[in-house]
Amino acid sequence: MDFTIYSRSNNDHLYDRMAEFFPAGTPKIKCINFQEWQDASRYIYYIIDNAETDWIFNVDIDCFLFDWEGVIKLYKYMQDNDIVYCGMRDGGVHPGRSWSWCNINPFFNIYNAKKIRELKAQQNLTWKAIEQHQYLPEYEKLKPEGLGGNINNATGEPFHGLFYWLFKVAKGYFMEPVVFKDEITNYLLGVDGKEILLHCWYSRNYDHDEGTKIRIDKLFQLAQKKRNELSIKD
CATH assignment of the domain containing 89: 3.90.550
**pLDDT, tens digit, 9 for 90 and up, residues 117-129:** 999 999 999 999 9
Per DSSP, the residues of 163-227 read HHHHHHHS-EEEEPEEE-TTSS-EEEE-TTS-EEEEE---GGGTTT-HHHHHHHHHHHHHHHHHH
pTM, to two decimals = 0.96
Range(s) of the domain holding residue 94: 3-233
pLDDT for residue 1 is more than 70? no
pLDDT in tens, 32-50: 999 888 899 999 999 999 9
Task: Give the integer Cα–Cα distance in Å for 145 and 193.
Answer: 18
Pairing type for strands 3-8 and 55-59 reads: parallel
What band does 164 get if pLDDT is binned at 50, 70 and 90? very high
Question: How many distinct structural domains can be found in the chain?
Answer: 1
